[in-house]
Amino acid sequence: MDEITSEITNKQITDLQDQIDIDFKNFITECHARQITYLAGNGRYFQGLSTHSILPKNGGDQFADRLGDKPSDQLANWRDFFNDIDLGLPSTKCATEIITHNGPNGKGYTIRMSMQIGDGWGMKSIGQGEHSITSNGWEYVTLN
């Protein structure tokens, strides 16, 4: 698909986003359950840095090369959070990160999935708890 990146059709984009949504359904459920346990044991939610240093493009698999990375104020990385059990990441067609929030109304987190699509960038956010962000489906930004 790299040869036609500026010509990717809206249907291809929609099909890709729909497939990632299906793939990530169980991941989101598992992540929410693990976050409850992590919060109870650590007093904060797990923050996961982006799983990829290079965003996957047009539905192509891109190796998740940052699973061992962690924020400077946290001991756990993605492998620790998922106990190395398949890491819970069903797809390498998008980068995944968890952004934590701590504000006057309490704690929360946002799971964000990102990928390059054609000449742009697609992102979807699923929030949980206070100060979290949930997008209305996939958002698409053209880079040119």
Q: Which residues lie across from 111 on neighbouring strands?
A: 98, 126
Judged by phi (left if over 0) then psi (alpha if -120 to 50, else beta), residue 59 lies in: left
Q: Is residue 128 part of a domain?
A: yes
- pLDDT band, residue 5 (cuts 50/70/90): very low
Q: Is residue 3 part of a domain?
A: no
Q: Is residue 33 part of a domain?
A: yes
- Tens of pLDDT, residue by residue over 60-89, are 888 889 999 999 999 999 989 988 666 556
Give 28's contacts (C-beta < 8 A, 6+ positions apart): 111, 126
Domain containing residue 15? 8-142
| DSSP 3-state of 83 | coil
How many whole angstroms separate alpha carbon 67 and alpha carbon 89? 10
User: If you average pLDDT over residues 116-133, what whole number do you get?
Assistant: 87
- pLDDT band, residue 2 (cuts 50/70/90): very low
Q: Is residue 137 part of a domain?
A: yes
pLDDT above 70: percentage of residues in the chain: 88
User: If you average pLDDT over residues 91-97, what whole number do you get?
Assistant: 85
- How many independent structural domains does the chain possess? 1
For the chain, give the mean pLDDT: 85
- pLDDT band, residue 130 (cuts 50/70/90): confident
Q: Is residue 2 part of a domain?
A: no
Q: Is residue 1 part of a domain?
A: no
Give 141's contacts (C-beta < 8 A, 6+ positions apart): 120, 121, 122, 123
Q: Is residue 103 part of a domain?
A: yes
Q: What is the DSSP letter of 53?
A: S
